[in-house]
């Protein structure tokens, strides 16, 4: 900080920015796979209009339950999974809004945070 006329002024050339934390697909754990499976199940009725999409998501879920590695999925499958997780967030928001006064929503919020975490990892890759 420098002093100019009695006021302290910060020298902007010394401001350092911290790069965003890089997340990897290898950080997806077995617990995350359970959350993904639940998200696929929750969003399945939303895709009634597209049986092919439902089958693809079901196959992705089965493959992940058999082998927990996200690296087995193609980039197109990861995109479909991101779409599913994003739709799941909207569904959870609607449910939480509808149930706000009736029940304790801690579990819903925890589940939503887990879905957001997985989605952020997938979107960075």
Domain segments of the chain: what residues? 25-123
Q: What is the pLDDT of residue 20?
A: 60
Tally of residues, the chain = 125
Q: What is the pLDDT of residue 19?
A: 57
Q: What is the pLDDT of residue 119?
A: 94
* Residue whose tokens read 């009634």: 48
Q: Please compute the mean of the pLDDT values over residues 54-76 and round it to a whole number.
A: 94
8 versus 46: the higher-pLDDT residue is: 46
Residue 30 CB coordination number (10 Å) = 9
Q: How far apart are CA 74 and CA 27, in angstroms?
A: 17
**Each residue of 40-58: pLDDT tens digit?**
999 999 999 999 999 999 9
Residue 3 has pLDDT above 70, yes or no: no
If DSSP codes are grouped into helix, strand and coil, which group holds residue 7? strand
**Each residue of 9-36: pLDDT tens digit?**
555 566 666 556 677 888 889 999 999 9
82's enclosing H/E stretch is helix 75-99
Q: How far apart are CA 71 and CA 11, in angstroms?
A: 45
Q: Please compute the mean of the pLDDT values over residues 77-88 and round it to a whole number.
A: 96
Contact (CB, 8 A) for 14 and 115: no
DSSP state for residue 73 in the 8-state scheme = S
Beta bridge partners of residue 9, listed in sequence order: 2
Q: What is the pLDDT of residue 83?
A: 97
């Amino acid at each position: 900080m420098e002093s100019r006329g009695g006021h302290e002024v910060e020298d902007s050339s010394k401001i350092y920015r911290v790069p965003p934390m890089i997340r990897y697909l290898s950080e997806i754990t077995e617990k995350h796979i359970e959350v993904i499976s639940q998200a696929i199940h929750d969003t399945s009725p939303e895709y009634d209009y597209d049986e092919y999409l439902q089958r693809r998501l079901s196959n992705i879920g089965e493959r992940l339950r058999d082998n927990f590695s996200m690296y087995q999925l193609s980039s197109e499958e990861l995109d479909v999974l991101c779409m599913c997780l994003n739709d799941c967030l909207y569904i959870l928001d609607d449910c939480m809004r509808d149930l706000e006064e009736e029940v304790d929503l801690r579990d819903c919020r925890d589940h939503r945070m887990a879905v957001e975490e997985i989605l952020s990892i997938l979107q960075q890759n």
